[in-house]
Amino acid sequence: MRADHRLVITVLTQNTQGMQDMQDIQVVIVGGGLAGLYAALQLERFGIAYVLLEAQPRLGGRILSLPISDKGTGSGVSDVGVDLGPTWFWPHQQRMIRLCRDMGVQVIEQHVAGDGLHQHSSAQVTRHRAGAPGMLSYRLAGGMQTLATAIAARLDPQRLRLAHAVTRLERLGDSWLVTASDAGESNAGEPRQFSAQQVLLAAPPRTLLQHLDLSASLRALLPASLSASLLTALAATPTWMAAQAKFVAVYEAPFWRHAGLSGQAHSRVGPMVEIHDASASHESGFALFGFIGVEAHVRSGHSADAMKRACIAQLTAVFGIDAQRPVATYLKDWAQDEWTASAQDLTQSPQHPALDLSPWLPELQRLNLHFVGSECAVEEGGYLEGALRAVDACALSPVLAAEA
């Protein structure tokens, strides 16, 4: 490591979980979604000490696959997960393809063989013959969570601090003082403070603005015009899919495939507007999932049970009586997830993020403050691939390269 890049971070407070204080920690990562985990993996590969602070009691962020067995169906359908967050990546997304290969997770093609359906009204459904194959998309057998789990398994567990919500970033000479509050009941106690020279912010900008006193930090550290324009740009960056809700129904058998259907359906009726085969693998965990088209503020007026009943009724109208009795159902409303959705995301129509941080990069690099969440990627922003791109583009990379 080059001497001028030597970074030293020391945990200032005694942690109450009995773990030893870490010395010579070099980087603090805020957020344990794909971006934070991938950043940790890179740092660990090069022997650079870090601590990852994640607000929630689990890792993965928007990656969320729930094990079917958790529902206690006893059906033995599958003990692996159904995706309630991201499902797909695509052949041009080479970083994702490489990472999945390196992590040893099993990539499968999205099931698309068979005819599609179109629901015009509650009573009218038309069938469309399978035409030319659509765009190839990939999924992970067992759910996207297998990737987050595989990365986490390669990380030092002592460096991963769950239920640590970062609330403040302050400058202390040449380093950062990072304050994390207890975000879970099991973690009650004093706020923890970490001194760091480099901070990686691995979360959507709007989430950071909502939970972290970032505005105050930036105003104190950047010239007035720069901090004002940066805060405006960050606040204007939508969090991809933040206002979405997903419904998954698990079945004993893939009856739609047996009927020559792909599982794909589009609907003008709703509540789901787009439905796909979501089976956990080609052999087990047979499932259909749909994106709910009802807007977040309307959804909030209905109970989860009512929404699930409406989705099952729609699946029955579209796919027939076999769809009426799923062995398990799942609903995830991301609009109600405080670590994903902000107030603006709920009121604006969905947009891809387009954040170009280059006007502020010299100042941010001087401060050793790096935005590496997917929404901060110059290309593929908002996607899983974007999370990997944002980390790879981070100014820490030359340090890593020098280490290699």
Ligand X SMILES: Cc1cc2nc3c(=O)[nH]c(=O)nc-3n(C[C@H](O)[C@H](O)[C@H](O)COP(=O)(O)OP(=O)(O)OC[C@H]3O[C@@H](n4cnc5c(N)ncnc54)[C@H](O)[C@@H]3O)c2cc1C
Of residues 280, 271, 316, the one with CA closest to residue 141: 280
Please tell me whether residue 82 adopts helix, strand or coil conformation: strand
Q: Please say which residue, 32 or 317, places its beta carbon nearer to ligand X.
A: 32
Omega within 30 of 0 (cis) for the link into 57: no
Q: Do residues 51 and 224 make contact, with C-beta atoms less than 8 angstroms apart?
A: no
Q: How far is the CB of 320 from ligand X (least distance, A)?
A: 27
Residue 116 near ligand X by CB under 6 A: no
Q: How far is the CB of 143 from ligand X (least distance, A)?
A: 12
Q: Please say which residue, 68 or 372, places its beta carbon nearer to ligand X.
A: 372
Q: How many residues bind ligand X (CB under 6 A)?
A: 42
What is d(CA 62, CA 242) in angstroms, rounded to the nearest whole number? 9
What is d(CA 399, CA 46) in angstroms, rounded to the nearest whole number? 9
Q: Which residues pair with 168 in a beta bridge?
A: 179
Residue 383 near ligand X by CB under 6 A: yes
Q: Is the dihedral of CA 218, 219, 222, 225 positive or negative?
A: positive
Cβ-Cβ contacts under 8 Å for 148 (sequence gap 6 or more): 33, 34, 37, 59, 60, 63
Q: How far is the CB of 388 from ligand X (least distance, A)?
A: 9
Residue 30 near ligand X by CB under 6 A: yes
Task: Name which of residues 243 to 272 contact ligand X (CB under 6 A).
Answer: 244, 246
What is d(CA 298, CA 109) in angstroms, rounded to the nearest whole number? 34
Task: Name which of residues 84 to 113 contact ligand X (CB under 6 A).
Answer: 85-89
Binds ligand X (CB under 6 A): choice among 25, 28, 29, 165: 165
What is d(CA 27, CA 201) in angstroms, rounded to the nearest whole number? 11
Residue 355 near ligand X by CB under 6 A: no
Q: Please say which residue, 317 or 375, places its beta carbon nearer to ligand X.
A: 375
Q: Do residues 194 and 23 make contact, with C-beta atoms less than 8 angstroms apart?
A: no
What is d(CA 175, CA 198) in angstroms, rounded to the nearest whole number? 7
Binds ligand X (CB under 6 A): choice among 28, 29, 66, 166: 166
Binds ligand X (CB under 6 A): choice among 9, 26, 51, 62: 62
Residue 161 near ligand X by CB under 6 A: no
Tracing tokens 């105050």 back to the chain, one arrives at 216
Residue 27 near ligand X by CB under 6 A: no
Of 153-161, 237-245, 260-268, 357-365, which segment contacts ligand X by CB under 6 A?
Answer: 237-245
- The 287-316 site mask, x for binding ligand X (CB under 6 A), equals ------------------------------
Of 229-237, 269-277, 363-371, 384-392, which segment contacts ligand X by CB under 6 A?
Answer: 384-392
Residue 353 near ligand X by CB under 6 A: no
Q: Do residues 391 and 370 make contact, with C-beta atoms less than 8 angstroms apart?
A: no
What is d(CA 168, CA 257) in angstroms, rounded to the nearest whole number? 52
Residue 32 near ligand X by CB under 6 A: yes
Residue 340 near ligand X by CB under 6 A: yes
Binds ligand X (CB under 6 A): choice among 80, 234, 355, 384: 384
Residue 238 near ligand X by CB under 6 A: no
Q: How far is the CB of 345 from ligand X (least distance, A)?
A: 10
Q: Please say which residue, 88 or 360, places its beta carbon nearer to ligand X.
A: 88
Q: How far is the CB of 103 from ligand X (least distance, A)?
A: 15
Rg (CA), the chain: 22
Q: Please say which residue, 64 or 328, places its beta carbon nearer to ligand X.
A: 64
The per-residue DSSP string of 216-250 comes to HHHHHHS-HHHHHHHHHHHHT-PPTTTT-EEEEEE
Q: Do residues 395 and 370 make contact, with C-beta atoms less than 8 angstroms apart?
A: yes
DSSP 8-state class, residue 191: P
Residue 61 near ligand X by CB under 6 A: yes
Binds ligand X (CB under 6 A): choice among 27, 36, 256, 272: 36
- Per-residue exposure over 80-103, b if at least 16 CB sit within 10 Å of its own CB, e if not: bbbbbbbbbbbeebebbbebbeeb
Of residues 211, 212, 210, 209, the one with CA closest to residue 230: 209
Contacts with ligand X by CB under 6 A lie at 30-36, 53-56, 61-63, 85-89, 165-166, 202-204, 207-208, 211-212, 240-241, 244, 246, 334, 339-340, 373-374, 382-384, 386-387
